[in-house]
């Protein structure tokens, strides 16, 4: 029986499984026991699929015994609870979907299962992915494994906490305005947001359709490359899916940083950055130059417009996407409605949490007659300017370096009564989503309270290989990604 999987990377596990030094069933059982021991406190999982995971692990062992395994065969992972999983509860952490069992499978989970991955369960999240702290879930807050009085980040906070606490070799999250990278930074793990359209959104319950993108949350860039290899690729079921070849991410992982130009956007190092984060990022810059990179100052002048632009566009799309939750076709329904109007009003009032209601109301307002041109249309024009800023920067450099978050994890409840301060948690990540670019957050140090700090590397469209190889080179030269919380 394999008893302690917490400190192994996905790549380590894959090698041990391939050599048959461990079995997938034993590995899966060890993770399930760890989840059952830690989840009541950390609350990283909403649903644990013990029976399904053990069955899948046994099938994986048969494939491995027959030497038919792939890099993900037999690897136990968690999946954010907004990917439809056939026959398994899928809630989006909302009361309005607390009884929804999908009759079909998302493309992401289908591809992962096809590659032999074992799904341990569905991870907690901010309701409908709306939040930056994982405090809006109908199923309770998620705690940061490094300090359980603090938030893990959001909206993929459950996925981040699960990897950080060793409750899965890796997890799948989604990133609409930073929801993979921000929690990855705050929990000391690696989080990759691919180019918009690189990974299929079919079966991924929508928040903001032009921004949402699925990606891996792992211990290392190498692990992220393994997962992305299985997830990426064109999907005819998704109209936004990019029909472009998928490179061999593992083959390109060793490209290194020698001779590569890294842009340093001045706007990301202005006021508002905590002294600890600034110090750690400066140390990371030095390390990158020692690895052969050239640092080049660049400017992204529309950065200051990112927050207002995002919080017009994302709620507008949310108000349209969430109109389907009306108590008629699926999900929660209020009791004893008087008429159809009462059914709609009470179902949505009782089924949605406050943050979701806030964003629906804001989105409906900016799309309404008389306000569409003043807000929504103008925001779309600014979005194009933001994308043009990045295009100009990438004419001079190969990738960009920035902090992932302005500060480390804050206390639970500290910002719940101040939505604007909460929204500012994503100030360094939102622009990437507005421009549809790939970016990765990796651990690069700790603050005075021993809380993790992350930096992000931003790449050109479809250059996941470039940011993965840069992140891998940094991790080969440092040890920040190897540190784990004491639980």
Distance in angstroms (rounded) separating the CA atoms of residues 421 and 428: 14
Contact between residue 350 and residue 95 where contact means Cβ atoms under 8 Å apart: yes
Distance in angstroms (rounded) separating the CA atoms of residues 323 and 319: 6
Is 320 assigned a catalytic role?
no
Residue with tokens 């017009």: 312
Contacts of 134 (CB under 8 A, 6+ apart): 124, 125, 126, 141, 142, 151, 152, 153, 154, 155, 157, 158, 161, 183
Compute the radius of gyration of the chain from its Cα atoms: 21
Contact between residue 297 and residue 413 where contact means Cβ atoms under 8 Å apart: no
**Following DSSP, what letter does each residue of 50-72 receive, concatenated?**
HHHHHHHHHHHHHHHHTT---TT
Residue 116: other Cβ atoms inside 10 A: 24
Q: Which of 24, 80, 425, 469 is catalytic?
A: 80
Contact between residue 9 and residue 222 where contact means Cβ atoms under 8 Å apart: yes
Of the candidates 463, 475, 400, which has an alpha carbon nearest to the alpha carbon of residue 252? 463
Contact between residue 112 and residue 154 where contact means Cβ atoms under 8 Å apart: no
Token pair recorded at residue 389: 């800023």
Is 179 assigned a catalytic role?
yes
Token pair recorded at residue 436: 């549809």
Token pair recorded at residue 203: 């079966």
Of the candidates 66, 4, 11, which has an alpha carbon nearest to the alpha carbon of residue 29? 4
Q: Which of 137, 156, 179, 425 is catalytic?
A: 179
Contact between residue 25 and residue 51 where contact means Cβ atoms under 8 Å apart: no
Contact between residue 164 and residue 485 where contact means Cβ atoms under 8 Å apart: yes
Is 80 assigned a catalytic role?
yes
Distance in angstroms (rounded) separating the CA atoms of residues 81 and 158: 9
Distance in angstroms (rounded) separating the CA atoms of residues 326 and 249: 43
| HEC profile of 103-171 | CCCCHHHHHHHHCCCEEEEEECCCHHHCCCCCCCCCCCCCCECCECCECCCCCCHHHHHHHHCCCCCEE
Q: Which of 94, 106, 132, 155 is catalytic?
A: 155
DSSP, collapsed to helix, strand or coil, labels residue 210 as coil
What is the dihedral angle through the alpha carbons of 57, 84, 462, 158, rounded to the nearest 10 degrees?
-70
The residues assigned a catalytic role are 80, 155, 179
């Amino acid at each position: 029986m394999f008893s302690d999987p917490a400190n192994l990377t996905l790549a380590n596990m894959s090698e041990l499984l391939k050599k048959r030094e461990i079995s997938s069933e034993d590995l899966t059982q060890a993770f399930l026991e760890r989840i059952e021991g830690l989840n009541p406190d950390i609350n990283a999982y909403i649903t644990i699929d013990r029976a399904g995971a053990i069955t899948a692990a046994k099938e994986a062992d048969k494939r491995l015994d027959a030497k038919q395994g792939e890099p993900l065969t037999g690897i136990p992972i968690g999946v954010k609870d907004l990917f439809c999983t056939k026959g398994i509860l899928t809630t989006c952490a909302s009361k309005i979907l607390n009884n929804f069992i999908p009759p079909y499978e998302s493309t992401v989970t289908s591809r992962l299962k096809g590659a032999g991955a074992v799904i341990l369960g569905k991870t907690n999240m901010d309701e409908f992915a709306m939040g930056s702290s994982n405090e809006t879930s109908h199923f309770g807050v998620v705690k940061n494994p490094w300090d359980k009085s603090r938030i893990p980040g959001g909206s993929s906070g459950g996925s981040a906490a699960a990897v950080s606490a060793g409750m899965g070799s890796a997890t799948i999250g989604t990133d609409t305005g930073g929801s993979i990278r921000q929690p990855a930074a705050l929990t000391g793990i690696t989080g990759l947001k691919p180019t918009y359209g690189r990974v299929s959104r079919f079966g991924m319950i929508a928040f903001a359709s032009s921004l949402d993108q699925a990606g891996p949350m792992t211990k290392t860039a190498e692990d992220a490359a393994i997962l992305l290899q299985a997830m990426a690729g064109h999907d005819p079921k998704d109209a936004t899916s990019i029909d472009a070849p998928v490179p061999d991410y593992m083959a390109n992982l060793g490209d290194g940083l020698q001779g590569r130009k890294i842009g340093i956007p001045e706007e990301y190092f202005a006021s508002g950055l905590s002294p600890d984060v600034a110090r750690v990022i400066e140390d990371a810059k030095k390390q990158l130059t020692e690895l052969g990179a050239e640092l080049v100052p660049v400017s992204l002048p529309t950065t200051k417009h990112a927050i207002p632009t995002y919080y017009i566009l994302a709620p507008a799309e949310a108000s349209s996407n969430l109109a389907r939750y009306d108590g008629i076709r699926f999900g929660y329904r209020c009791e004893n409605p008087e008429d159809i109007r009462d059914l709609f009003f009470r179902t949505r009032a009782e089924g949605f949490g406050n943050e979701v209601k806030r964003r629906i109301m804001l989105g409906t307002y900016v799309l309404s007659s008389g306000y569409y041109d003043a807000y929504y249309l103008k925001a779309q024009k600014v979005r194009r300017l933001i994308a043009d800023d990045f295009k100009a920067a990438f004419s001079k450099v190969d990738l960009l370096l920035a902090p992932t978050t302005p500060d480390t994890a804050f206390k639970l409840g500290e910002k719940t009564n101040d939505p604007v301060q909460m929204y500012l948690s994503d100030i360094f990540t939102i622009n990437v989503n507005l421009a549809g670019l790939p970016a990765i957050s990796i651990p690069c140090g700790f603050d005075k309270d021993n809380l993790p700090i992350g930096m992000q590397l931003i790449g050109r469209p479809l250059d996941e290989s470039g940011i993965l190889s840069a992140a891998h080179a940094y991790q080969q030269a440092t040890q920040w990604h190897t540190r784990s919380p004491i639980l």
